[in-house]
Amino acid sequence: MILRLTHAGNFWYIDPMRLLFIADGRSPIAQNWIRYFAERGDEIYLASTFNCSVDFPLKGLEITPVAFSGARKSNQHPGAASSRTLKLRSAIRHFLGPLTIPRASKRLRGFIERVQPDLVHAMRIPYEGMLAADAYTGAPLLVSVWGNDFTLHAPSTSLMRHYTTWTMQVADALHADCQRDIRLGKQWGFDSARPTLVTPGNGGIKTDIFYPPSKPVDEPVIINPRGFRTYVRNDVFFQIIPLVLKKYPTAKFICASMAGESQALKWIQQLNITHAVELLPPLPHAQMAEVFRRAQIIVSPSIHDGTPNSLLEGMACGCLPVAGDLESIREWITHGKNGLLADAADPQNLAEAILEGLENKNLRQKAAGLNATIINERAEYTRNMGKIKLFYESLIRLNR
């Protein structure tokens, strides 16, 4: 490593940075973030809680299973399971997962001590942040909050409450994708005097991939990009399809990451909507962007969330967002201006919002312009990753 001055000439910092990420190495969100630093030449070490392979250079990879993650396949997409399986797995991990932290953190601590990183970044509270807090060695620890870490996971069991509080007390800095989670982090024990940063969880939107179609979409196409997750009301989403088809019989509903999902196929058969629904497998970013550009409306029927990356991607591609009315979502969407908010647990209310979006061409056009500006100013990848790099450097300087 070479010690040199920053451009401002006021501070010393390490270049290249030696960064240790604790993450689910299979996650496209985590990979999108880590790749930036790997490609700029920093020394990257990854402690992955799941078996994984990545397509960017690493100085070291340590698989650190926790909460039974070692049983998952390396090529299995995160969240790729039936709805029932996801609920059962989530319950087991909430109750029994914390019991696996002490043993896993011992292994992680050994890796941290060998690497001697300038910064440790845990990219989620359960269980990566919890592991990092339990394995704390003194290297500055940055913890990221993902969507429902505080609202769904943290209060689920007494052990989850304990480890969430402990993680917030140990963390030297906090990153979240919405201001709400910075506020909640402080309520869970994070020291308000310590540094914080708010940026999209995947680093931001690559606008050379996610951009609007050359001309507005005329067909009534609605996309749900969320897949099956315990906090997404897909049962409500499928119930609204017949309600929308009554007014728009030619409407098409595209469901991402649901191909072969038995529960989705059951709902489609019961509701007699086979002709109107297309179930897609998990797709690479470039292909997903093409799907977004086919749609007029993107629907995010979640009851727990931070800032969904897929929602921002759809907005960048010109889709009108219709989302659950959550505090975090209101940081991005103003109802009736650049999108529509609805009760994700109420089929009638959600259907009415979608119908309003289909019927109101002026709203769609106005929202597309507003959202393009919002994405460029607040969510563009290169701009955000530049902020994150400066944040990393500031944390390293504070430690030294």
Question: pLDDT per residue over 9-34, tens digit each?
Answer: 555 666 899 999 999 999 999 999 99
In the chain, which segments carry CATH 3.40.50.2000? Answer: 2-204+380-399, 221-379
| Identity of the amino acid at 38 | A
> CA 329 to CA 340: how far, in whole Å?
10
Residue 1: is its pLDDT beyond 70?
no
Q: Nearest Cα to 232, choosing from 304, 281, 288, 148? A: 304
CB 309 within 8 A of CB 200: yes
* Residue 120, pLDDT score: 98
**Greatest mean pLDDT among 43-47, 75-79, 83-87:** 43-47
pLDDT band at 388 (very low <50, low <70, confident <90, very high): very high
Provide the strand spans (E) within 155-231. Answer: 173-176, 196-198, 221-224
Respond yes or no on whether the N-terminal peptide bond of residue 16 is cis (omega within 30° of 0): yes
**pLDDT one-digit tens code per residue, 238-253:** 999 999 999 999 999 9
Whether 84 shows a pLDDT value over 70: the answer reads no
**Least confident piece of the model among 33-37, 229-233, 239-243, 266-270:** 229-233
Section 36-51 average pLDDT: 97
- Which pLDDT score is estimated for 5? 43
CATH architecture of the domain covering 2-204+380-399: 3-Layer(aba) Sandwich (3.40)
pLDDT > 60? residue 74? no
pLDDT band at 69 (very low <50, low <70, confident <90, very high): confident
Of the listed ranges 12-26, 32-46, 273-287, the least confidently predicted one is 12-26
Which pLDDT score, from 0 to 100, does residue 15 have?
Answer: 82
Q: What is the model's pLDDT at position 291?
A: 98
Contact (Cβ atoms closer than 8 angstroms) between residue 220 and residue 185: no
pLDDT per residue over 299-310, tens digit each?
A: 999 999 999 999
Q: Is the predicted pLDDT of residue 44 greater than 60, yes or no?
A: yes
Hey, which residues does 174 pair with through a beta bridge? 143, 196
> pLDDT at position 30, please?
97
CATH of span 221-379: 3.40.50.2000
Q: What is the pLDDT of residue 83?
A: 59
Percent of the chain beyond pLDDT 90?
88
Residue 280 buriedness (CB in 10 A; 0-12 / 13-18 / 19+): middle
Rounded Cα distance, 13 and 31, in Å? 25
> Between the CA of residue 228 and those of 34, 150, 212, what are the distances in Å?
25, 20, 26
